[in-house]
């Protein structure tokens, strides 16, 4: 369970870091008063999606640790959440 927990903490920390980066980017744009930006889609994709994924993985890690025997499921979920960072960064960076 130890490796699965470490992987889960790493994935949660990275998603929270991406949410903070998104918040900073949106704050800078709001200060500069860019017209027609940010839209609700930008806000959702830069803040809500990373926070939702971090919260979902945190809840799943809590459930797996409470049940005690789901270390493989937590490890696979953590790796999947880490792998999801690559397409997220490709999209948020302007595409492939």
> Using 50, 70 and 90 to split pLDDT, how confident is the model at 33?
confident
Render pLDDT for 34-89 as a digit per residue (tens, 0 to 9). Answer: 888 888 888 899 999 999 999 999 999 999 999 988 999 999 999 999 999 999 99
pTM: 0.91
DSSP the chain: -HHHHHHHHHHHHHHHHHHHHHHHHHHHHHHHT-TT-S-HHHHIIIIIHHHHHHHHHHHHHHHHHHHSS-HHHHHHHHHHHHHTHHHHHHHHTT--
């Amino acid at each position: 369970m130890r490796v699965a927990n470490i992987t889960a903490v790493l994935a949660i920390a990275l998603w929270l870091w991406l949410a903070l980066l998104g918040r900073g980017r949106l704050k800078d744009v709001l200060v500069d008063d860019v017209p027609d930006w940010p839209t609700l889609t930008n806000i959702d994709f830069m803040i809500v999606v990373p926070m939702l994924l971090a919260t979902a993985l945190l809840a799943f890690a809590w459930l797996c640790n409470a049940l005690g025997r789901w270390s493989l499921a937590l490890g696979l979920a953590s790796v999947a959440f880490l792998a999801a960072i690559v397409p997220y960064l490709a999209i948020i960076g302007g595409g492939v």
